[in-house]
Structure 1
Amino acid sequence: MTGEINPKAYPMADDSLTKTIFELVTQASNYKQLRKGANEATKTLNRGLSELIILAGDAEPLEILLHLPLLCEDKNVPYVFVGSKQGLGRACGVSRPVIACSVLQKDGSQLAPEINKLRQSVEKLLI
């Protein structure tokens, strides 16, 4: 059962950006720089730990994570929607679907340049 992508899911990453996002999420998971789930993503935003928020455009109902873009805008954190919660779950390294995840900042992280590059691509979508 796959959910339809909700038109409210904006900005939506295209296929090549989605692939890049999933690769980064997988690496962030390996480096312990990832929090999975809408609640965890909300906590990292509130605590100012978040570099980037990735949301699933096929979450049912989408409203369960629509507070996140507002919070991201308040905290100046870029966010992006990807097409599939199943794909996001796999990228996070779990077998369950994941509707939201947060990539964390970490001083001296080897992922920093990649996170910054992805942040810039995501910010371009928001303009």
Structure 2
Amino acid sequence: MEDVDANMEFGEEGSTYISPIANPQLSGRMLKRAMKLLKKALSVEKLAKQHQMEKGNNDIVMTRLVKRGVQDVTKAIRKGMDGIVFIACDVHPIDVVSHLPVMCEEANMAYAYVDSKRVISNVCQSKRPTCVVLIVKPPHDLDKRLQTLVQDKHDRLSYLELYDKLNSAIRDLHPFL
């Protein structure tokens, strides 16, 4: 009987398991914006690391815009970093990530659930599934720092605008913040 319940929970049609605490879950346009923001943060991080290798400039803030994994995200929240947290809906057992929403609410941090671990790991270009990702809030002087890395002004502004839009949209959508 337990096998039947497990199959019903995970779905027989190839659908993924959705955690009962997965609220709010991003979908459609919001999900695309979230993944676009994650891609941009990773690309800025990569550019900063390349610039650091070439010029010897040691800009730690720019090389640490994305935190991956439960342990790193938990540590970042506990240390007081601000940002947006994306949690995968299909994490099983749920106890692995069940403490994160409470920590985010206590820290007044925006968080949302994403379809699956595979979606996050594909955007992060990782072969291992990633349960949770934190996009650190951009520093107030990010535009000045990005001038040395990105020549196109549109790319610099779109990252900041995208972060602000997504942060406010998640806060509007969220029932607990």
Shared fold (TM-score, shorter chain, > 0.5) = yes
CA contact (8 A) 1:53 1:102 kept: yes
Under a length normalisation based on structure 1, what TM-score does the superposition of the two structures give? 0.91
Cα separation, partners in 2 of 1:3 and 1:62, compared to 1, 3 Å? farther
Counterpart of 2:24 in structure 1 is: 11
Question: 1:88-107 maps to which residues of 2 (within 5 A)?
Answer: 88-107=120-139
Letter of the 1:126 partner, please give it: H
Kindly state the Cα deviation for residue 48 of structure 1 after the two structures are TM-superposed.
1.8
User: Partners of 2:78 and 2:17 in 1: how far apart?
Assistant: 29
Whether 1:22 aligns to 2:35 is yes
SS state at 2:18 partner: coil
Structure 2 spans left out of the alignment, 5+ residues: 1-13, 46-64, 143-155
Structure 1 spans left out of the alignment, 5+ residues: none
Question: 1:1-127 maps to which residues of 2 (within 5 A)?
Answer: 3-32=16-45, 33-107=65-139, 108-109=141-142, 110=156, 111-127=159-175
User: Partners of 2:18 and 2:30 in 1: how far apart?
Assistant: 16
SS state at 2:84 partner: strand
Name the structure with the higher helix share.
Answer: 2
Name the structure with the higher strand share.
Answer: 1
Q: Identical aligned pairs, as a percentage?
A: 24
Under a length normalisation based on structure 2, what TM-score does the superposition of the two structures give? 0.67
User: Deviations for 1:30-81, whole angstroms, at most 9, x for unmatched residues?
Assistant: 2221011111111111122231100000111122101011000010000000
User: Partners of 2:28 and 2:42 in 1: how far apart?
Assistant: 21
SS state at 1:31 partner: helix
TM superposition outliers: structure 1 runs of 4+ over 2 Å? 108-113
Kindly state the Cα deviation for residue 3 of structure 1 after the two structures are TM-superposed.
4.0
User: Partners of 1:52 and 1:21 in 2: how far apart?
Assistant: 9
User: Partners of 1:76 and 1:8 in 2: how far apart?
Assistant: 18
Letter of the 1:66 partner, please give it: S
Cα separation, partners in 2 of 1:112 and 1:46, compared to 1, 3 Å? farther
Q: CA RMSD in A?
A: 1.6
Higher relative contact order (CA 8 A, sep 6+): 1
Larger Rg, first or second structure (1 or 2): 2
